[in-house]
Structure 1
Amino acid sequence: MAVNPAIDEAPPAHLLVKIESFSLLGTCGIDEYETREFVAGDYKLTLIIYFNGNNCEYVYVSLAMADTSSLPANREVNVVFNIFLYNQISGNYLSSPGRTRCFLETKSEWGISKFISKKILSDPSNGYLVNDNIVFGAEVFVVKKDAIIECVSLNNINIHYKHDFKISDFSKLNERFFSEQFIAGGQKWKIILDPKGSGTGTDIHVSIFLNHLATSYWFSASINSWGWPTCIELATNNDPNKGFIFNDCCLLSIDIHVQLLQTQLIKKN
């Protein structure tokens, strides 16, 4: 066996074909047999058995799309298919590994060139050819494509924005300070300052965040702010000798570089 077969107890879901008087095919010079059409996933298919395929030591079995004219231009149909061979002694089915193949108007047939060797097939003790009868089968599952394709483009634009914010009565701040809204890179942003700290900086540091984008992170729909929860220790910030607070005022200067990232979602059926 050229392929790595599996043993299935259940018959194939879509096609079973029994060939009687198998030896007469060779006697009559019949090298191949194409089954009647069967339907899988709304598509008409046939199974083709080549008794003298590309390699004369093996039987070649293929799956073909019966009518490709129904396919729209440039349309592809992806299927997972298995080829079966009935063992008339054990009552099980020898099956090829599931193969995923793409059918096009220009490529309407896929197969297994070395499905089974003629030597193994012709030995009645193996159970595949008994009383000159043989049974092939096929199982085909059409892959439904409903993928979301995201196209990402990085614009070669680096927008620089710099601005100073004066925060008065700093000692009286008990809650978060939100700066006035400003525009950088065509987007709206705010600075958030937490005088008592937040997250890992709670009660120890002053925390500062940029709402909507951070200088070293990509903005996403699920995260609209990045920042520094441990920007500066409270003791250092409030020490008048350090110069960060003067006349109860704090000067916050921001320097932002905005890199534009655009995404486009395409739903492909």
Structure 2
Amino acid sequence: MANHAINCLETNARGKLSRFHELKKEWGFARFLSRSDFEDTTQGYLFNAKSVFGVEILVNKYAKGERTVLPQKLSDTTYTWRVSNYSTLCSKISSDVFIIGDCKWKLKLYLEGYGDREGKSVSLYLEFHDREAAARIYAEYMICLKSEKNGKDCKRTANHMLSASSINWAWPFFMSLNDIEDASKGFLVEDTLIIQVEITRIAFVESFS
């Protein structure tokens, strides 16, 4: 089954292009404007309890198109990574390569964070490991740190387009180091972290003339 993608790209407020297609029909901003700034009448966003919203859309058209090939139902969608001897590990480690949906994947963990989160949190990456694959792939997935005491896992969900030139998607701030090392939360037990990834949906994006 094939679905033709919409040949439409949105330039967002940060100057990046956003691509709309069958599996990604909405784009937005989780943190567009702070509530305090919005309600501050001196800034002009609110006037007589009313506000005006607008959008400018720039559409890029291409001579070539793309189609998204939807997969059959996935089997074996979950991979569990036990990170043993946590306190003795170096700052960056990787899981073994694993296969879900006939694709190769890998997890990367920065134990002391990455970039401006260094020393504050762990950073976690999902990497599309088929670097020689020509096709791009759309993936929906969930990653969590398992709690072995109270069942309150730390979960993050995402959907993203991955390819040989854009191989990973990351959470620089996945969980604070304080929370991980808090014994009452149960994430670090016997010097072991348990990380689980579930890839619930993938679709290959192919070009055509």
How high is the TM-score relative to the length of structure 1?
Answer: 0.45
Q: Displacement, 1:19?
A: 1.8
Tell me how far apart the structure 2 counterparts of residues 80 and 141 of structure 1 sit (CA, whole Å).
6
Q: 1:105 to 1:13 in 2, by over 3 A?
A: closer
- CA positional deviation for 1:132: 1.6
Letter in 2 for 1:144: A
1:196-220 Cα deviation digits (max 9, x unpaired):
xxxxxxxxxxxxxxxxxxxxxxxxx
- Structure 2 CA distance for partners of 1:108 and 1:136, relative to 1, 3 Å: same
Pairing 1:86-101 to 2, within 5 Å after superposition: 86-91=146-151, 93-96=153-156, 98-101=157-160
Unaligned runs of 5+ in 2: 1-75
Over 3 Å counting, the alpha-carbon distance change for 1:107 and 1:127 in structure 2 is same
Deviation at 1:65, TM superposition (A): 1.4
Find the partner of 1:58 among 111, 118, 121: 121
Contact 2:150 2:185 in 1 (8 A): no
How far the C-alpha of 1:90 sits from its partner, in A, is 2.0
CA shift for structure 1 position 146: 8.6
Partner deviation per Cα, 1:122-179 (whole Å, 9 max, x = no partner): 11111101222211111113433699xxxxxxxxxxxxxxxxxxxxxxxxxxxxxxxx
How far the C-alpha of 1:92 sits from its partner, in A, is 5.1
Give 2:98's aligned residue: 38
Aligned equivalents of 2:82 and 2:103: distance in 1?
22
CA contact (8 A) 1:40 1:142 kept: no
- Cross-structure match for 2:87: 23
Please give the secondary structure, in 2, of the residue aligned with 1:68. Answer: coil
Give the alignment partner of residue 118 of structure 1, picking from 171, 177, 196: 177
1:106 pairs with 150, 165, 169, which one? 165
Does the residue aligned with 1:144 lie in a helix, a strand or coil?
A: strand
Q: Aligned partners of 1:146, 1:103: CA distance in 2, in Å?
A: 10
Read off the aligned partner of 2:83 and give its amino acid letter. I
Query: Which structure 1 residue ranges, 4+ long, deviate > 6 Å from structure 2?
Result: none
Per the alignment, residue 145 of structure 2 pairs with 85
Identity of paired residues, percent? Answer: 18
- The answer to which structure has the higher strand fraction is 1
Matches within 5 A, 1:128-147: 128-144=187-203
Query: Counterparts of 1:143 and 1:32 in 2: how far apart (Å)?
Result: 27
Instruction: Name the structure 2 match of 1:14.
Output: 78
Unmatched segments (≥5 aa) in structure 1: 1-11, 148-266
Residue identity matched to 1:143: I
- Considering only aligned residues, what root-mean-square deviation do their CA atoms show, in Å? 2.3
Give SS of 1:23's match: helix
Secondary structure of the residue aligned to 1:120 is: helix
Distance 1:103 1:76 in 2: 6
Kept after mapping to 1: 8 A contact 2:138/2:205: no
Cα distance in 1 for residues equivalent to 2:107 and 2:163: 17
8 Å CA contact 1:36–1:46 kept in 2: the answer is yes
